[in-house]
Amino acid sequence: MKLTEKDGCVLLEEVECLDIPLCLDCGQAFRFAETADGGFHGVVCGEILDVKRIDDGYVFEHTDLKKFEKIWKPYFDLDRDYAEVCASFDDENLKKAVNEFYGIRILRQEPWETLCSFIISQNNNIPRIKGIVERLCQNFGEKISDCDYTFPSYEVLADVSVDELSVLRAGFRAKYISDAAQKVKSGEVRLYELYEMPMDEAREELMKIKGVGAKVAECTLLYGLGRVEAFPVDVWVKRIMSEMYPDGLPECTKGVEGIAQQYLFHWRRKSKEFLKNDEKTESALCGVGS
DNA sequence: AACCAGGCGCATA
DNA sequence: TATGCGCATGGT
């Protein structure tokens, strides 16, 4: 990894397996948007991220080496050797997924933001999840620029009534957000102790919250607490498991199931390889009743 | 106009 | 333990 500071920017070069646009747009984070110049813009831990590709590296705007070490290096999990992890995947499907979407990493997002975002994600679609999260920040976060807001803290949200949360248009999820904020604030849920807690205990801790089941707990542990052994199973991963791994995940994913999951998830959703069959399935389903 | 969306809580057996 | 249904809202 090579870092160079210049004019209030940091140039990042020589990192294997890092595709930042892909990381920010593969369904693990909900606060980023592509800019007109092909970069990405968002807010992380109160810091504005503006990043774009340049030659073989990336330019991070309005930051310096110190801030980069503190915020962006952990956020993009730059100390983990993903090339090595990917190379260890001794499995045909995983190899295809990695080959087509090389550079996906598991983001180390802020735990509360992750928990809250994935509560909102349930029975929901990504464009609307993003809208709700955006309104959450605009209404209850701190304004840090003309158009940027921080993600609101659990302390703030714990004192916002479910009724006041109706501006989010989050539907039945509003009461879950409120319950989560209150339980984290009171210490009933020890969110910031989940980094090293045994996985089963960590899952149970999160599932004390109303609206947090196995899937949301697993996503929080994976994307929020860097627990790469977590394995969220959603509708897409269910498809993968039944289509490709009826007897369970291959041995080579042991300990990094979450990383394997992210590649498989994105591949199964986005690869052209599956488009035809999925359309066929849909039209077949549509045709049943008519 | 039904049906679906990175699920979950609750009721029922 | 295992199913199945309803749920707020918005997009096709």
A2 is catalytic: no
Which of the four pLDDT bands, split at 50, 70 and 90, describes residue A255?
A: very high
What tokens appear for A255 in the block?
A: 């300990």
| Catalytic residue chosen out of the listed positions A175, A215, A270, A276 | A215
CB-CB contact of A156 with A136 (8 Å) = no
Nucleotide nearest to A122 (CA to C1'): B7
Per-residue flag: A172 CB under 7 A of strand B: yes
CA distance A290 to A285: 10
Name the closest residue (CA) to the C1' of nucleotide C7. Answer: A172
CB-CB contact of A57 with A14 (8 Å) = yes
CA distance A197 to A175: 27
Strand B close residues, chain A 188-217, CB < 7 angstroms: 207, 209-217
pLDDT digits (tens, 9 = 90+) for A129-182: 999 999 999 999 999 999 999 999 999 999 999 999 999 999 999 999 999 999
Q: What percent of chain A has pLDDT over 90?
A: 94
Mean of the per-residue pLDDT values of chain A? 95
Name the closest residue (CA) to the C1' of nucleotide B6. Answer: A234
Which of the four pLDDT bands, split at 50, 70 and 90, describes residue A275?
A: confident
Q: How far is the CA of A37 from the C1' of C12 (A)?
A: 30
Which of the four pLDDT bands, split at 50, 70 and 90, describes residue A204?
A: very high
Which of the four pLDDT bands, split at 50, 70 and 90, describes residue A279?
A: low
Measuring CA to CA, which residue among A226, A223, A271 is closest to residue A244?
Answer: A271
Give the C-alpha distances (Å, rounded to integers) separating A176 from A41, A238, A286: 28, 25, 34
Q: Which stretches of A7-87 are assigned E, i.e. beta strand?
A: 9-13, 33-34, 40-44, 47-54, 57-60
CA distance A218 to A227: 9
Average pLDDT of the residues in A224-229: 98
0.85 cut: is pTM over it?
Answer: yes
Which of the four pLDDT bands, split at 50, 70 and 90, describes residue A278?
A: confident
Which of the four pLDDT bands, split at 50, 70 and 90, describes residue A102?
A: very high
